[in-house]
Amino acid sequence: KKRIVSGVQPTGSIHLGNYFGAIRNWISLQNTYDTLFFIVDLHAITLPYDAQKLAKSTRDTAAIYLACGVDTSKASVFVQSHVRAHVELMWLLSCATPVGWLNRMIQFKEKSRKEGVENVGVALLTYPVLMASDILLYQSDFVPVGEDQKQHLELTRELAERVNYLYGGKKWKKMGGRGGAIFKVPEPLIPPAGARVMSLTDGLSKMSKSAPSDQSRINLLDPKDVITNKIKRCKTDSFPGLEFDNPERPECNNLLSIYQLLSGRTKEEIAEECQGMNWGTFKPLLTDALVDHLHPIQVRYQEIISDSAYLDRILAEGAAKASDIADATLNNAYQAMGFLQR
């Protein structure tokens, strides 16, 4: 079976972008592939954070995975920091990563702009190396992510090829290794729709956990009245009718796209249904679709989060399974790079 890994940071609330860009796609993939889904807590501390909230957010995120339909009889769910190999391999990988590759990362540039490059933590720069470690440890074939992670995936591929070239192949064989590649070179799986859900208050920026205004996103755990209020107040325009793909109407395109994703219908069908509508008729439809879709997820979330023994067991089993795979890759990497065996 081909293998798939992916993860979400337990920072703030999980929103519709995380759902349509990543989590929802995991659910269909778990039937065909060997899947591992982690909560990337180590990634969540690269910017200043509240240590008293981290454990709770990590647990919440795990419960959301399960509530959205991740099935632990098929997929392994675990916490990144529970599998020590992630940080260990990161060190090996970071010794093979040119600083120039990391300086190019759009997310680093964006996130370091505010504080200034001299002031942000080193880990904000080396963040993609940890992400590469998350992926390469499991010899993953595919990584389902939203559009914003594409560049990180490219770096992961380049890094895998570089380490394979430097320490794998014939060279490694001469040193007593098995020969061949140390890491499989993974491919991103970016969904055709939903890969870039935009903000409710600005159709040109993506929906994000770190945006200061909660009005800009729909969180998966938002109650009905909050959703109603956010849709009522979201940014629209004063063009007649509703349409996809008009560059002058990014908000309209985004809201129709969300409606389409929720409905499971085609773009053409939605375009036809909505072309003659005004915002006053469309907004209640979208609100209802959101509430109907999220309500069952919220009910399941409540059940799961209130049974902490169950959740702990799932996470412990997931970490044990993941560690077996991860340790094997890590040991191969140590061996290929010439370390004295333990």
Positions marked active-site: 111, 206, 209
The correct pick among 63, 83, 135, 286 for binding ligand TYM (CB under 6 A) is 135
Read off φ and ψ for residue 38, nearest 5 degrees: -120, 160
Q: Which residues lie across from 36 on neighbouring strands?
A: 5, 76
With H, G, I as helix, E, B as strand and everything else as coil, classify residue 185.
coil
Q: What is the DSSP letter of 204?
A: T
Site string for ligand TYM, 138-177 (x = CB under 6 A): -----x-xx-xx--x-------------------------
Indicate the residue among 209 and 273 with the shorter CB distance to ligand TYM.
209
Q: How far is the CB of 329 from ligand TYM (least distance, A)?
A: 14
Site string for ligand TYM, 92-131 (x = CB under 6 A): ---------------------------------------x
CB 142 within 8 A of CB 4: yes
| Ranges assigned E (strand) in the chain | 3-8, 34-39, 75-79, 142-144, 187-189
Strands 142-144 and 187-189: parallel
Indicate the residue among 39 and 335 with the shorter CB distance to ligand TYM.
39
Q: How far is the CB of 255 from ligand TYM (least distance, A)?
A: 14
Q: How far is the CB of 280 from ligand TYM (least distance, A)?
A: 26
The correct pick among 4, 8, 89, 93 for binding ligand TYM (CB under 6 A) is 8
Read off φ and ψ for residue 189, nearest 5 degrees: -120, 100
Cβ-count burial of 151 within 10 angstroms (0-12 exposed, 13-18 middle, 19+ buried)? Answer: middle
Q: How far is the CB of 319 from ligand TYM (least distance, A)?
A: 16
Site string for ligand TYM, 204-243 (x = CB under 6 A): --xxx-----------------------------------
Rounded Cα–Cα distance for residues 276 and 241 (Å): 5
The correct pick among 7, 168, 177, 250 for binding ligand TYM (CB under 6 A) is 7
CB 69 within 8 A of CB 86: no
Sign of CA dihedral 304, 309, 311, 314: negative
Indicate the residue among 136 and 336 with the shorter CB distance to ligand TYM.
136
Among 133, 116, 124, CA closest to 80: 133
Q: How far is the CB of 75 from ligand TYM (least distance, A)?
A: 14
Rounded Cα–Cα distance for residues 42 and 49 (Å): 11
Residues 178-207 that bind ligand TYM (CB under 6 A): 195-197, 206-207
Q: How big is the chain by its Cα radius of gyration, in Å?
A: 21
Rounded Cα–Cα distance for residues 200 and 251 (Å): 7
Using CB under 6 A, count the residues that bind ligand TYM: 27
Indicate the residue among 3 and 273 with the shorter CB distance to ligand TYM.
3
Indicate the residue among 19 and 172 with the shorter CB distance to ligand TYM.
19
Indicate the residue among 42 and 177 with the shorter CB distance to ligand TYM.
42
Q: How far is the CB of 86 from ligand TYM (least distance, A)?
A: 9
| Ranges assigned E (strand) in 165-263 | 187-189
Q: How far is the CB of 148 from ligand TYM (least distance, A)?
A: 5
First to last CA, the chain: 31
Cβ-count burial of 158 within 10 angstroms (0-12 exposed, 13-18 middle, 19+ buried)? Answer: middle
Residues 14-73 that bind ligand TYM (CB under 6 A): 17-18, 20-22, 40, 43
DSSP string for 24-36:
HHHHHHTTTSEEE
Indicate the residue among 135 and 286 with the shorter CB distance to ligand TYM.
135
Q: Which residues bind ligand TYM (CB under 6 A)?
A: 5-9, 17-18, 20-22, 40, 43, 131, 134-135, 143, 145-146, 148-149, 152, 195-197, 206-208
